Amino acid sequence: MLGYTLRRILQMIPVLLGATFIIYALTFLMPGDPIAALTGERPLPEATVAQIRQAYHLDDPFFVQYGNYILGVFRGDFGIDFFGRPVLDLILERLPVTFALAVTAWGLKLVIGLVIGVYGGLRAGKAADHFALVFTVLFMGIPGFVIALGGQTYFGVHLGWVDPAGIRAGWPMAFILPALVMALEAAAGLARLTRTSLVDVLRAEYLRTAKAKGLSPQRIIWGHALRNAMIPVVTYLGLSLAGMLGGAVIIEAIFNLPGIGGLMVASINNKEGTVVVGIATLLVLVYLVFNLLVDLTYGLIDPRVRI
């Protein structure tokens, strides 16, 4: 177990380096001079420009810049922005909003997706199952931001149940609508997976054995069928939480929530490369850690998997 964990952590390093390098290269290939963006209408004297360029290592070769950056990241230093604020502080300031949104959406998705999936799976081929299928296809098909716009207009503007945008109402009122939009879109896939997995397990021979032994239906469903059907579902759930952090960008923009997404878009517009790379690095790191946790969880729910 310990050996496996260590090996996995070692394997994460090249992936982390590669992914951050891609983002780093893309960001610093961005057209436009960051110092010109910083000063705006009134150009700075040349000596000052040279001083700034030197202070931020802008004249170093590209690989040296990246090397410096990544060494800093391993020490917890994500660099500073053009106003001298540490990038890590900027991100950590915004992170709770995005995190609250992603976790709320993930929780809602978990409940909606599992209920529909399990219900449809246990009644495969019956009316409830068909209803579940229509639901999942609808929400997989309707683009998330169209649902967001519809919900914002109807519940926010017409009915006035929640604020159409902004974070003034705090958690949960400001988060409930954007989280629900994200959850509905993602729940469809989860419901689908749960149903398929459950239907497969219900056909398995060990369930016939359980029935033949005379176990109660409750025992069969909770103790045997669901436990086995959950194995692929857990993988999916773990990976999707990390994915939701990334997917929150568009939803945050629509509902005007001051999270990572807004910071990302603003930083790109201001050519604040260090902030862009910092966010991407952090998200990649989160994704990889979740990936690892998911694989380690395998062993807990499926004793057949020895890690």
Partner 1 sequence: MSTTITTISTSDGADAVDRAPSPMRGAHRRWWLRPRFAISGTIVLLMILMAAFPQIFTGFGPGPTENCDILLTNQPPSAAHIFGIDIQGCDYYTNIIYGARASILVGIVVSAIAFGIAAVVGAIAGYFGGWIDALISRICDMAFGLPFILAAIVVLQLFGQRNIWTVIFALALFSWPGGVRFMRSSVLEVRNREYVQAAKLLGASNGRIIKKHIVPNAITPLLVLQTLGVGGMISAEAGLTFIGIGLTPPAVSWGLQLAAARDYIDAAPHLLIFPAIFLTVTVLGFVLFGEALRDEFDPKGK
Residue type, 34: P
Decide if 198 contacts 143 (C-beta within 8 A).
no
For residue 307, give Cα distances in angstroms to 5, 147, 233, 236, 299.
Answer: 9, 42, 19, 19, 7
CB of 232 to partner 1, least distance (A): 13
CB of 212 to partner 1, least distance (A): 25
Copy the structure tokens of residue 221. 């469903």
- CB nearer to partner 1: pick between 39 and 196: 196
CB of 290 to partner 1, least distance (A): 11
CB of 244 to partner 1, least distance (A): 9
Copy the structure tokens of residue 59. 């004249």
Question: Which 3 state secondary structure label does DSSP give 270?
Answer: coil
- CB nearer to partner 1: pick between 1 and 29: 29
Residue ranges that bind partner 1, judged by CB under 8 A? 14-16, 18-19, 22-23, 26-27, 29-31, 137-138, 140-146, 149-150, 153, 157, 196, 242-243, 245-247, 249-250, 253-254, 264-265, 268-269, 276, 279-280, 283-284, 287-288
Exposure class string for 18-39: b at 16+ Cβ within 10 A, else e: ebbeebbeebbeeeeebbeebe
Q: Is 222 exposed, middle or buried (0-12, 13-18, 19+ CB in 10 A)?
A: exposed
CB of 116 to partner 1, least distance (A): 16
At residue 86, what are phi and psi to the nearest 5 degrees? Answer: -65, 135
- CB nearer to partner 1: pick between 154 and 222: 154
- CB nearer to partner 1: pick between 35 and 51: 35
At residue 80, what are phi and psi to the nearest 5 degrees? Answer: -125, 160
Indicate the length of the chain as a whole number.
307
Q: Which letter does DSSP use for residue 42 in this model? A: S
CB of 168 to partner 1, least distance (A): 20
- CB nearer to partner 1: pick between 218 and 269: 269
- CB nearer to partner 1: pick between 39 and 256: 256
